[in-house]
Amino acid sequence: MLNLQGDLHVCSAAGSAEEALAAMDREPDMGRPDMAIVDLSLKSDSGLDLVKTLRHRYPALAILVLSMHDESLFAERALRSGANGYLMKLEATEHVVSAIREVLAGNIYLSAAMHEKLARALAAPRKNAEGAIASLSEREFEVLHLIGLGFSTREIAGKLNRSVKTIEAHQANIKEKLHIRSGKELMRFAIQWIESQ
């Protein structure tokens, strides 16, 4: 669909962060791509980590996150990581070209509903739970999200390419920040939080 646009050309596709970073430097004679479209769910990598790496290595690169994950949960974190826009896959066919053009023009792309939500969040104080969740680091937020989806500590360690001890340390930090006493209580909180979104 993108290649049918007169001014757009898909020059590469990758299934992992490593492949994506290699593709960025593959054809230096032709120049680097103007934009990267990043999925948050990569085979063995974190899409947010890839966004951070791309932003660090290529400051001028336009980055659009395209994801099945709920925009209300992940858009703000994607923007903080360095993305210029966030588009849910459910809306992709209808909005992807306009999202790409918006980001390439140097603007931020979010759905109208997300723009409104962010504006409301800036205008009013957050509820206690939302405020506590907002205080989590990017990695702690990812760990909480994966706990809520039912992944075990070992599975989370594998998914995020970290040691079990590191994930346990993140879980301890999350419990402290959210004033949660036990692992079971943390799991219950994470599941309820995911279901409430």
SS3 labels along 182-196 = CHHHHHHHHHHHHHH
Residue 101 tokens read as 């053009």
The residue among 121, 148, 178 that closes a domain is 121
Could you tell me if 110 and 143 lie in one domain? Answer: no
Summarize the confidence of residues 4-21 as an average pLDDT. Answer: 81
- Residues 9 and 39 both lie in one domain: yes
pLDDT score for 171: 94
125: confidence class by pLDDT, cuts 50, 70, 90? very low
Number of structural domains the chain divides into: 2
Residues 95 and 21 both lie in one domain = yes
Helix (H) or strand (E) holding 17: helix 17-24
Q: 137: domain range? A: 128-196
Return all residues near 138 (Cβ < 8 A) that are at least 6 apart.
Answer: 48, 77, 80, 81
Tokens found for residue 80: 């903080």
CATH of the domain at 144: 1.10.10.10
- Domain end among 77, 105, 121: 121
185-195 per-position pLDDT tens digit? 888 888 888 77
Which of 15-19, 121-125, 183-187 has maximum average pLDDT?
Answer: 183-187
Higher pLDDT, 120 or 48: 48
Q: Minimal CA–CA distance to 194: which of 129, 138, 144, 134?
A: 144
Tokens of 85: 């826009």
Return the percent helix, strand and coil in the chain, to nearest 5: 60, 10, 30
The CATH number assigned to the domain holding 104 equals 3.40.50.2300
What tens digit of pLDDT does each residue of 130-182 get? 667 878 888 999 999 999 888 899 999 998 999 999 999 999 999 998 888 88
Residue recorded with tokens 């791309």: 54
Which pLDDT tens digit goes with each residue over 56-103? 888 888 999 988 877 777 788 888 889 999 888 777 667 888 888 888
Burial of 183 (0-12, 13-18, 19+ CB in 10 A): middle
